[in-house]
Chains A and B, each alone.
Chain A
Amino acid sequence: MSTFHLEIVTPTKVIDKGEVSYVRCPGSDGQFGVMARHTNAMFALSAGEIKVVSEKETSYLATRGGFAEVTGDEVKILVETAEHAAEIDLDRVQKALGRAKQRVAEKGPDMDLARAEMSIKRALTRLRVAKRHQV
């Protein structure tokens, strides 16, 4: 299977995934997948799950969104955060999820619905990524 080079860059680290055969990203208009010999493209990413398939493994990362660039045989993903399952602290995620849900339920006067929904979405993504590796 033909492969391409994938690099995931955040402000605090660079994850060099090496040669991979498929990557699935959370585009702002829905998920999309990229395989080798894709046309040049720029994508906006929203919060969600990145799936990476290479010969030796399939891995998942949780992200808060950013950009992806496809050029030639290379894909660069520039995101705010990218966490592997092992880096996710389940307790903290559960708490964050609880807080965000509570905020929405209470409907306080200065509640920012869009922000609360973003928090929920982020927490759910991280839960999903963390659980994928528990199975």
Chain B
Amino acid sequence: MASLKDIRQRIKAIKNIQKVTNAMKMVAAARLRRSQINMEQARSYARRINEVLQHLLPAIDRSLNHLLDFREPEQIGFVIVTADRGLCGGFNANIIRITTGLLQDYDREKVSLICIGKKGRNHFIRQGYNVIGEYVDFWNDLAFQHAAGIVEQITRLYLEHNLDQVFLIYNEFKNVVRQEVVTQQFLPLVLTEADEEDENSAELGEFLFEPSQQEIVNSLVPRHLNVQVWQALLESNAAEQAARMNAMGAATENASEMISTLTLEYNKARQAAITKELLEIVSGAEALVKA
């Protein structure tokens, strides 16, 4: 059995850890509230603009904008959104595991990665993947400009034929206790499966365009891309804070549990020591009486 001093030290250490995890939980909870509001406000706009695009895609001439070109996928880009920091449960591990699974279906030379967030960047560089873009250290002052900058790089690579197909992988915020890794094709734009269920979209048919199909497509498509990446960043940010809040909440609880087990052990050890001491005194006294 561990000595009293050892147990006391362990209890103290765990109490300190608990203070840290509890503080991190509070910080994450405060940030979560803010990022969740931002994310939810932007969500309706992102969904609507996607709906509009889904209605539009069957009705337009794809040759109007090169961002709509279908090409033989020689070079494939993956945009992976992770966090800058750890201690948020399976948040980063999940997305990295799912991405690695996806990447196994492709030749390494054909794959280029754009990593958003330090965790993903560090992992994929270490694994020797071709990382052509990295965006780190901006989560604290996340702004629409970040999304626009990322989209600018992706569209440039796509238009210069350096990438022929681009996927976007991020954690979607389902609710406070659940995040889900989603993979969506970013370029070229395609009809999403969810919308095929929506029967209206196929039957809309002809559209009238004002001022012209060309102008609508040229302004709507880039707008759509920016909004989708922006939404992915907001979702990931909210999901990260939620994951961290839960992970730190669980850690704080585990610490409480450990403290109570150790306290019990400590009390037992102390009782045993007292009993032992008493026995020694009593038997010492008896020995004196006999003598």
Contacts and interface: CB of A to CB of B under 8 A. Distances in A.
Interface stretch (A25-33, A56-64, A103-111, A121-129): A25-33
A43 B42 contact: no
Nearest to A77: B48
A10 interface: yes
B211 A29 contact: yes
B200 A28 contact: no
A113 interface: no
Nearest to A14: B44
Given A11-B42, A67-B220, A72 B211 contact: no
Given A9-B45, A12-B41, A69-B52, A44 B208 contact: no
A43 B210 CA distance: 5
A102 interface: no
A12 B46 CA distance: 11
A44 B206 contact: no
B45 A29 contact: no
Contact of A44 (B41, B55, B219): B219
B208 A40 contact: yes
Contacts of B45: 9-12, 14, 78
A71 B210 contact: no
Residue among A12, A39, A67 with the highest chain B CB neighbour number at 10 A: A67
Given A39-B208, A41-B208, A78 B215 contact: no
A118 interface: no
A42 B56 contact: yes
B102 interface: no
Interface size class of A (residues with CB under 8 A): 20 to 34
B207 interface: yes
A78 B200 contact: no
A76 interface: yes
A13 B41 contact: yes
Interface in B23-67: 41-42, 44-45, 48-49, 51-52, 55-56
B272 interface: no
A42 B211 contact: no
B229 to A, nearest CB: 13
Contacts of B211: 27-29, 44
A44 B223 CA distance: 12
B205 interface: yes
A135 to B, nearest CB: 31
A39 B206 CA distance: 9
A42 B48 contact: no
Interface in B196-241: 200, 204-211, 215-216, 219-220, 223, 227
Given A11-B45, A32-B210, A76 B216 contact: no
Given A11-B42, A69-B55, A71-B200, A41 B48 contact: no
13 contacts: A12-B42, A14-B45, A29-B210, A32-B210, A41-B207, A42-B52, A42-B207, A44-B219, A71-B204, A72-B200, A76-B51, A78-B49, A78-B52
Given A71-B55, A71-B200, 6 more contacts: A27-B211, A28-B210, A32-B210, A41-B208, A42-B207, A78-B49
Which 6 interchain pairs have the tightest Cβ spacing? A41-B208, A43-B210, A11-B45, A29-B211, A14-B44, A9-B48
